[in-house]
Amino acid sequence: MLRLTLTTALLLPVSFAASLLPRDGYKIPSTSFDSQTTFNTYWSYNYPWGTDHNGAARMASSQVKVGGGQVTLTATPTTGQAPTSGGLAIHYLSGTIYAKEYFTVAANGGYDFTGDFLASTAKGTWPAFWLTGANSWPPEIDLAEWKGSGKISFNSLGINNQWITKDVAYNSGSWHTLKMEVRDLNGVDVQTKFYMDGVLQATQTGNAMVGKPFWLIMDYQMEGSSGSPGPTSTLVYDSRSTYRELGYSEIDCADLGLDEETPVISATLKHHNHHITLIPGIKPLVQQLAIGRATEWDLLFNV
């Protein structure tokens, strides 16, 4: 079972939306897996290009279950399927979903992706949570990939076609919290910091990724890079619902350092792992955030 809840870090009240522009983010609310209706608003089945990719699983919506804030991807052995257009044999029906909107790291922008995962590392199982170029390949960022080796892989592939990889031991019998901080590094390249259970595992720089749109894909492929033959029983891929901060989590503003509210606001945002410097015009909003009066916000913003 794969369970996931998505929330944005800092959003803008509807009343401010006309005067501020979105940063490089797209909101997927925490309700996106609550029902089939909300799922259909933000997610699609299979890959952006179809049901097949680079392994022995063919994706089908019947292998994806949604409800109660959870999504479940299941891989089931099958026979009698036609091969892929590239000639790969299909041995499984499985589940994949992708976000309907692109994710583009703009200049001075970025995203945080955080979730709790329980994934198989058995030979032949190939779950992954990844970003891939929407207009071209490369680029690619593998936020988390398991290739049947007993390890988790963190990978980046820049426009220069150079892979950067890091494999880390992974206990497949336990839940692990993964966080990926994806940021513009210098106006051209994208830096990704990969964390597992609060510990930094790798820092990678993807060449010329700034401004390139990405698809966000969560899939359960089989065999391929994970080896074959794969398992003969039904398998599931899990992610628990503490997925937070899908979106950019900073506000860049001018200084109001003399305001008496600044210490309270700064302390509150530090507690929530955000950076902020205040400006006139946004001060009332930030004050509401600091004292807990800002509740449901609807749009990522840039000032």
- Give the closest residue to 23 by CA, choosing from 130, 131, 183, 180: 183
Q: What is the dihedral of CA 292, 298, 299, 303, to 10 degrees?
A: -40
Handedness of CA 213, 216, 219, 225 (dihedral sign): positive
Strand partners, 195: 179, 200
* 207, two tokens: 């060449």
Q: What residues pair up with 152 in beta bridges, in sequence order? A: 146, 168
Check 145, 181, 223, 245 and give the catalytic one. 145
223 catalytic? Reply is no
226 Cβ contact list (under 8 Å, min separation 6): 55, 123, 124, 125, 126, 146, 147, 148, 149
User: Is 140 a catalytic site residue?
Assistant: yes
Q: Which amino acid is at 132?
A: T
User: Which residue among the candidates 140, 181, 223, 245 is catalytic per the annotation?
Assistant: 140
Nearest CA to 143 out of 106, 171, 103, 107 is that of 103
- For the chain, the C-alpha Rg in angstroms (whole number) is 20
Active site residues: 140, 145
